[in-house]
Structure 1
Amino acid sequence: MSQTLVRAGGSVQSPTFGIENLADLPSDIQVTPIQLTSEDGAPSRGLLYKRKNSTPKVGVHIMHPRSDVSTSYYNGALSKAGYAVLARGSRSPNNDVSTIHENVLLDLAAGVRFLKEQGCETVILLGASGGASLAAFYQAQASAEPGERLTETPAGDPLDLNKYDLPEIDGITIIAGHLGEGLCMEQMIDAAVIDEDDPLASDPDLDMYNPANGFAIPPTPSVYSQEFLARYRAAQKARVRRIDAKARSLVNRQREAAALVAKLGPEAPLDLIRQANTETHMIIYRTAADPAYVDLTIDPDDRPVHSYFSDRPDLENYGSEGFGRYLTPRAWLSTWSANTSNAKTAHNLAKVKVPTLFVHYAGDCGTRMSHAKAIIEAGGAADKTLHLVRHTGHFGMFLPDAPGTGRNWEGMDKIIEWLQARFPV
């Protein structure tokens, strides 16, 4: 099995294909709005980038389960290199209130079919951040033996993927990918929460933002004891299990009401009908609490004290926004639960045999270098590569103490170099 680990030397590389803004695209690249409909009738949309008056040979499909990536930085670079690029959102872009990963696979399949209809003989998936686990999940299901695909969602709702057309793809590229949203949530969720209905209710002995446990006000790094970290990680897992139980209870309550309505028929009382049609929403407070955000001795790499969005994770943790903040029980079980979500990058990548590239930003606050290595090592492809980009954060920007500023194009240049060697246009 061939596996390559390439470590960047830290020098600043001149961008070969980098294009930050759509206005800077070469004049021979056309950007076309695309409307798609999945096999189950769900609509979605995106942008197709391709050279004018050409039939593309190789297409790159780019998608995230929750975010619209139609104008992200990788699209221009890939199209400039000659690849047709379909970059898009799912059926519920920029809104994970009801994101069911199993449904999103049908959206991704619609995009793969579209590229093939455009003449692409080869289709590559590019997964960034949560798009990595989505890409791996898709190909694992698409390549499954007949009858071996999933037949229901984690909430137990019937969804037989064996009945749908999931065209296999020819390669997977990952940039700034992570373990999967559920596994990330298990790292980030605040173990000190003792009442899911009260964002301030907290166990001080489990509070990673309590100075008594080793916390220091950023930018000073914190240092936690191994004893505290062991208790904290165990309590995080316990909190996820409690939320899982609550989600299943809410789903079952609605399902039982629906079954009773079906049994009673026209005699069913209105209150029961309303209960059968009501999906209660959940609020998940305090999800910016990964000790590795502030303790840089945990799996050391290039990252500074920072979360995905703030240099004060302790304040962000109590802010108005957060991952998985407001969502249905079904969305929690499918997307954000470490225990029930099927969208786990390493698990699914083990079933993937097509060439695989993982570009890891060594300053990514949410994905440790050990995670990236574990993911690529789990991959089932004979041709798999891990490329490490130093001094760069999750969104592809140089870190404050890096030898460069702005966008670091090294990762995209590596993806294009890798594609040109295997799937030339």
Structure 2
Amino acid sequence: MTVSRLGAGRYTELLDEPENVETTVHRMSTSDGATASGVLRVPAGARTVVTLMHPRQDVTHHASVPYLLRDGYAVWTQGSRSPNNDLNLLHEQAIVDFAAGHVRLRELGFERVVCLGHSGGATLAAFYCQQAGLPAGERLTATPSGRPVPLGETEMPLPDGCVFMAPHPGQGALLLRVIDPSVADESDPLSVDPSLDPFAAANGFVAAPEPTTYDAGFMAAYREAQAARVARIDARAQEWLAESRAANRAFKVSGDAAERRRAIAPRVLTTYRTDADLRNVDLSLDPNERPYGSLFGRRPDLTNYGLVGFGRLATAEAWLSTWSANTTNADFLRCAPGVTVPSLLLELTGDQASYPADIARFREALGTDDLTVASVPGTHFGGPLTKGAPTGTELAARVIADWLTHQA
């Protein structure tokens, strides 16, 4: 196992796309006047299209794409209005973008439109299905920060089916698991409360690649402190929003440009050290076939201090909509009862973000009467469990193709 290179194990090799696939790029206007775009690849004769979208990542070259094309399915890959950018990611706007793509695919005449949601894309798809399945008048009207969203005036076609591949519990619930509560000063990425440091030998940590075993007392204090840190950031976000609203109200009364500047001036939450899930180094916790390490590499004791991670930079609005487990609407477990279309729940047995207990809860919560649950060996991003073994992406593609065939 390579543990010295940061990011090791995060990416998998891509299969070449088959020939004779027609590729077109589409631009759509959303119901709130934004622009979304998608890439459509169509093998000859394809009448079913599989959609991939993630709220915060570009999935144009997702590893599943060539397998789906090889099996004769059209593939639609779409971004939100905030691709690769957490700064102002509002999940309520992301499903407005999601809707624009589904409307376009229906206009193009496909017989079946099936969502493939991978990782955070699974929660996005569940959130979309939950809202699309409601009468227009019962849909959300605002983000958690109070920004209006036109879901009630948005055409939101339900997909004909959903594949939830390696679904994690949602960005906010996931961040609550991985945030480092030992940060003593939010302005200092190196500040540490030693009593909560997950990578301190005094708290049970053993240097990589040897697995750590934490005791119950430390874990209980750690989880409590994680929740407390998220709550503190919530409070700061709410404080900033209140100040902005007050300045905007003052501007409407006085017309003073200085008040307007105060209302619109961006203040950005910087959240250091969000790669500190105890399960990534203590493999006895929620055991599965995962290797040592996190989503971001084989050395979470190092990557926790690096640039890559969840929720690093976010406006107060984006924090409340996406990253706070306390306020986000995009939570897989809460959205799952609203998913009524035929669904495939697909576990990767070496997942570093979604564990067997999660899959069991999701299985119970999903509202569909037509649910298939399956598992394949692989890591969260579709890598192989051992060198030379088939990738999780390849094995998942076989299960997905079989499920699509039986759903036809």
Q: Which amino acid aligns with 2:119?
A: S
Partners of 1:263 and 1:114 in 2: CA distance: 43
- Structure 1 residue 219, shift from structure 2 partner: 0.4
Look up the SS of the partner of 1:116 in the other structure.
helix
**Residue matched to 1:20:** 14
1:214 has 2:199 as partner:
no
How far has the Cα of 1:97 moved from its partner?
0.9
In 2, are the aligned partners of 1:127 and 1:134 still within 8 Å (CA)?
Answer: yes
Correspondence for 1:9: none
SS at match of 2:24: strand
Give, in whole Å, the separation in 2 of the partners of 1:80 and 1:157: 43
Q: How does 1:33-72 map to 2 (within 5 A)?
A: 33-52=25-44, 54=45, 56-72=46-62
1:318-341 CA deviation, whole Å, 9 max, x = no partner?
Answer: 112221101111111111111111
Question: Residue 282 of structure 1: CA displacement?
Answer: 0.9
Stretches of structure 2 lacking an aligned partner (at least 5 in a row): 1-12
CA distance in 1 between partners of 2:374 and 2:201 (Å) = 37
Q: Which moved more, 1:317-326 or 1:231-240?
A: 317-326
Q: State the AA in 1 paired with 2:194.
A: P
- Does the 8 Å contact 1:48/1:87 carry over to 2? yes
How far apart, CA to CA, are the structure 2 residues paired with 1:215 and 1:254?
43
What does residue range 163-312 of structure 1 map to in structure 2 within 5 Å? 163-265=153-255, 268=256, 270-312=257-299
Per mean C-alpha deviation after superposition, the further-off stretch among 80-89 and 348-357 is 80-89
Query: Which residue is 1:394 aligned to?
Result: 380
The aligned counterpart of 1:419 is 404
Q: d(CA) in 2 for partners of 1:389 and 1:374?
A: 18
Using the TM superposition, give the Cα deviation of residue 405 of structure 1 relative to its aligned residue in structure 2, in angstroms.
5.3
What's the CA shift for 1:79? 2.1
Report deviation, 1:276: 1.3
CA drift at 1:133: 0.3
Deviation of 1:37 after TM superposition, in Å, equals: 2.2
1:89 equivalent in structure 2: 79
Paired residue total: 397
CA distance in 1 between partners of 2:152 and 2:330 (Å): 17
The answer on whether the counterparts of 2:280 and 2:352 sit within 8 Å (CA) in structure 1 is yes
In structure 2, what is the Cα distance between the partners aligned to 1:165 and 1:405?
A: 40
Does the 8 Å contact 1:29/1:50 carry over to 2?
yes
Deviations 1:5-52 (A, max 9, x none): xxxxxxxxxxxxxx934xx33322212222222122212222101024
* Native 8 Å contact 2:117 2:162 kept in 1: yes
Structure 1 gaps of 5+ residues are: 1-18
- TM (norm. structure 2) is 0.94
Written as runs of structure 1 = structure 2, the 5 A alignment for 1:83-122 is 83-122=73-112
SS in structure 2 at match of 1:387: strand
1:351-382 per-position Cα deviation (integer Å, ceiling 9, x unaligned): 11111111111111111111112112210111
Distance 1:312 1:27 in 2: 39
Q: Give the TM-score of the pair, scaled to structure 1.
A: 0.90
Residue 398 of structure 1 aligns to which amino acid in structure 2? P
Per the alignment, residue 3 of structure 2 pairs with none
Could you tell me which of 295, 315, 320 is aligned with 2:302? 315
2:368 aligns with 381
Structure 1 residue 289, shift from structure 2 partner:
0.5
Query: In 2, Cα distance between the equivalents of 1:196 and 1:298?
Result: 28
In structure 2, relative to structure 1, the CA distance for the partners of 1:142 and 1:249 (3 Å cut) is same
Contact 2:379–2:392 under 8 Å retained in 1: no
Deviation at 1:407, TM superposition (A): 5.7
Q: 1-side partners of 2:62 and 2:341: how far apart?
A: 25
Greater CA drift, 251-260 or 178-187: 251-260
- Partner of 1:4 in structure 2? none
Query: In the alignment, is the contact (CA less than 8 A) between 2:189 and 2:273 conserved in 1?
Result: yes
Counterparts in 2 of 1:380 and 1:277: CA distance versus 1, 3 Å: same
CA RMSD of aligned residues (A): 1.6
| Secondary structure of 2:117's aligned partner | strand
- Percent of residue pairs identical: 41
Task: Report the counterpart of residue 320 of structure 2 in structure 1.
Answer: 333
Letter in 2 for 1:320: L
CA distance in 2, matches of 1:198, 1:343: 30
Q: Report the Cα offset of residue 115 of structure 1.
A: 0.8
Query: For 2:247, what is the secondary structure of its paired residue?
Result: helix
Distance 1:282 1:37 in 2: 30
- TM-superposed CA distance for 1:203, in Å, is 1.1
Instruction: Using the TM superposition, give the Cα deviation of residue 120 of structure 1 relative to its aligned residue in structure 2, in angstroms.
Output: 1.3
